[in-house]
């Protein structure tokens, strides 16, 4: 078990924890549209990159999420989707060989997406520049974020058994992104 005091997790530890098989396809997709995201963790005092979607977006407006998006017909697989979308949304070019592993797929409950999260851990990142699909880029200290996990339901959304939320700078991370963060938290504690 790793402590969350800001010093207990080293990047090498994270690389080991998140190294898993990479299978950039999902078998059972009936009724869902496919999407993928990239969980980017970087820095010697680990930070995680998340974005805020513009309030003008049709789906997931104003939500805090990981960079990524829906599978495009030009993408060879969901990993290519995550890499392409991350580069487009925040200007971070990541190559396939920098991907360490993936988390379990997560379903959105309202928009009908099945999302496959991929993980990379980097020493450092360049200056990031958001495109029109991103209102703001967050560089969130990983340990303090995970410490904010609650079972509190967001009163603005339908309650779901086992729903978790996280908080950063008065922003609530909920839904699919929160379920991904919960997986990260569980992996760090195992």
Question: How many independent structural domains does the chain possess?
Answer: 1
**Which residue range(s) make up the domain with 78?**
11-140
Please check whether residue 175 lies inside any domain of the structure. Answer: no
Q: What is the DSSP string of 103-170?
A: ---EE-SSS-EEEEEEEEEES--------TT-SEEEEEEHHHHHHT-B-PPPTTS---TT--BEEETT
Q: Is 148 part of any domain?
A: no
Residue 99, in any domain of the structure:
yes
Q: Which CATH number goes with the domain that contains 134?
A: 3.90.79.10
Per-residue pLDDT reduced to its tens digit, 12-54: 999 999 999 999 998 878 889 999 999 999 999 999 999 998 8
What is the predicted pLDDT for the residue at 164? 84
Q: Is 163 among the domain residues? A: no
């Amino acid at each position: 078990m790793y402590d969350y005091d800001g010093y207990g997790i080293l990047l090498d530890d994270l690389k080991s924890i998140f190294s898993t098989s990479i299978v950039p396809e999902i078998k059972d997709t009936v009724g869902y549209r496919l999407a993928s995201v990239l969980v980017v963790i970087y820095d010697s005092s680990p930070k995680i990159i998340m974005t805020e979607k513009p309030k003008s977006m049709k789906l997931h407006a104003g939500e805090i999420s990981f960079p990524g998006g829906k599978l495009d017909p030009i993408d060879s697989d969901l990993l290519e989707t995550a890499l392409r979308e991350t580069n487009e949304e925040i200007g971070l070019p990541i190559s396939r060989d920098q991907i360490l592993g993936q988390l379990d797929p997560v379903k959105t409950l309202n928009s009908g997406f099945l999302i496959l999260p991929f993980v990379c851990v980097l020493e450092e990142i360049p200056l990031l520049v958001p495109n029109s699909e991103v209102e703001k880029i967050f560089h969130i200290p990983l340990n303090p974020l995970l410490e904010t996990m609650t079972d509190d339901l967001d009163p603005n959304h339908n309650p779901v058994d086992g729903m978790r939320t996280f908080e950063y700078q008065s922003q609530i991370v909920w839904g699919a992104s929160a379920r991904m963060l919960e997986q990260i938290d569980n992996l760090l504690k195992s």
